[in-house]
Amino acid sequence: MLDTVLALLSFSALGVLAKMADVKRARPSAINLLLYSSSLGLILLITFAQHGGMPASPLFVKAVALPFGACSAIAILALQSALRFGNISTTWLAINLSAAIPTVGSIIFYHEQLGTRKTCSLLLIVVALLLLWKDRKMSDMASENTNLSESRTQ
Amino acid sequence: MTSDTSRWLRLMLIAFVTNGLGPFGLKVLAANHFGEYEPEYLIFWYIGGLVFAAAAFAFGKRYLSRSELLFGSAMGFCSLGGQFFTGEALTAGIPGYVAFPITTGGSLFLVALAGILLFKERVGPYGLAGLAVGILALVILSI
């Protein structure tokens, strides 16, 4: 169970550090570069310690891994940039809700069965995204009203 | 809609789609009977990420501040740490229906809590409802 708690704390720290980096005005491209360099350095260190070198892998594995890894780096860059314009609480939720995409992809491309549980979850994800959008719209309206009343006072 | 909201929505749309696509490679791997190469896959997955990150960085000013070094590296360790410890938990016999809801739902809850308490973020009633529904959705999806 300790491993699960450590995993939970690691993923949570990732979100908190992303916000702290934004507060400190760290550039998203620099954060992205360092995130991938340090992760890669660490994973290579672990692999070399376990296997004494780089294990061989088929070309197909590399051909799949490289573009999907690049997709993930685009996501981190967009997330870190989005923090300039939004809350970490709602931004972090929105990015995590993307778990729906591999599920939908598996249904479309690999004809996986869509059971009751997955259907409920996908519907709830849509509801959550709509609620986040509504929240953002409401906060926009509130700030516009504040600006309007401030300009009238002046 | 303010320009900040429109930028946030555009960036979130990109992050939503690409972050969802990132782990889909594992499914492609498993479906083509290459599931045993998952650790090697992860190395090349990070290389793919690093190539993009380096290209994006090269377009801007090529220096790194102390806070960027600190936060970027710490985030890298947390990213890999999260994946490593989830793998260790599963290897140690913790069922996926226990480990995944805790790591996904729990981290969402903790980050939202940190946002509200540490960074004094204001989340409206719709946002709070969205957080509750989103956590529930991800817990159900990962069971």
**Which chain B residues touch A135 with a CB distance below 8 Å?**
123-127, 130
Interface test with B, best of A61, A133, A141 (most B CBs within 10 A): A61
Residue pair B128/A128 in contact (Cβ under 8 Å)? The answer is: no
All residues at 6 or more sequence positions from B85 whose CB lies less than 8 Å from its CB, including other chains: A3, A4, A6, A7, A10
**Option in B27, B46, B103 nearest A7 (CB):** B103
Going by pLDDT thresholds of 50, 70 and 90, the confidence category of residue B39 is: confident
Going by pLDDT thresholds of 50, 70 and 90, the confidence category of residue B80 is: confident
Mean pLDDT rounded to a whole number for chain B: 85
Q: B41 to chain A, minimum CA–CA distance in Å? A: 6
Question: Is the Cα torsion angle B21, B23, B29, B32 positive or negative in sign?
Answer: negative
Q: What is the pLDDT of residue B104?
A: 79
Q: What is the pLDDT of residue A108?
A: 85
Give per-10-residue mean pLDDT for chain A (154 aa). 86 92 92 94 90 86 93 93 87 84 83 84 89 83 73 67
Burial B16-26 (b: 16+ CB within 10 A, else e): bbbbbbbbbbb
- A residues 98-127 closer than 8 Å to B (CB): 98-103, 105-106, 110, 117-118, 120-122, 124-125, 127
Can you tell me which residue has the tokens 């710490």?
Answer: B74
Residue pair B71/A19 in contact (Cβ under 8 Å)? The answer is: no
Interchain CB distance below 8 Å, B12 and A66: no
Q: Can you give the pTM of this predicted structure? A: 0.86
Residue pair B141/A99 in contact (Cβ under 8 Å)? The answer is: yes
**Which chain B residues touch A99 with a CB distance below 8 Å?**
20, 23, 104, 138, 141-142
Q: Look at A54 and B22; give whichever has higher pLDDT.
A: A54
Question: Is the Cα torsion angle A97, A99, A103, A106 positive or negative in sign?
Answer: positive
Interchain CB distance below 8 Å, B137 and A79: no
Residue in A68, A11, A119 with CA at minimum distance from that of residue B30? A68
**Option in B1, B18, B108 nearest A71 (CB):** B18
Residue B101, CB half-sphere, CA atoms under 13 Å: how many? Answer: 11
Interchain CB distance below 8 Å, A26 and B68: yes
Going by pLDDT thresholds of 50, 70 and 90, the confidence category of residue B1 is: low
**Which chain A residues touch B56 with a CB distance below 8 Å?**
29, 32-33, 73, 77
Q: What is the ipTM of this complex?
A: 0.87
Interchain CB distance below 8 Å, B57 and A30: yes
Give the separation between CA B24 and CA A116, rounded to whole angstroms: 22
- In this complex, is the C-beta atom of A65 within 8 Å of any C-beta atom belonging to chain B? yes
